[in-house]
Amino acid sequence: MCSLPLVIDALLRPLADLPGVVSVHLIDPDGFVVQTNGQPAGTDEIERWQSLVQTADKEAMTTLVMEQGYLILAPVSLRTLAVKCQRTTNLGAIRRVIKNLEWPA
């Protein structure tokens, strides 16, 4: 039997491996990081992301333009997927992978 972190890592790996993706974080509703691929995020950063998610439509994928690149916040079941990427990243490719993620029931 596989452990949950390995299953989550396997699901997020195609996203984390896309060119220009800096990090991928799966965050639970309480702000705890369930899984990180790439550079870890700080507590303050995650709290800001959570605040943004709470103000957005519960089913909307949100793209923020930042000085260093982009941040995509997407609802995944009861959690939030946060993807940090460089300015040169193909956002369409990232959005397509996110939409096609198949989470186990």
Q: What is the residue extent of each domain of the chain?
A: 4-100
Going from the C-alpha of 66 to that of each of 11, 44, 59, 85, 87, the distances in angstroms are: 26, 16, 22, 10, 9
Are 23 and 91 a contacting pair, CB within 8 Å?
no
pTM of the model as a whole: 0.88
Nearest CA to 98 out of 88, 79, 41, 87 is that of 79
Task: Note the pLDDT tens digit of each residue in 14-64.
Answer: 999 999 999 999 999 888 888 888 888 888 888 888 888 877 777 889 999
> What's residue 105's pLDDT?
56
Architecture of domain 4-100: 2-Layer Sandwich (3.30)
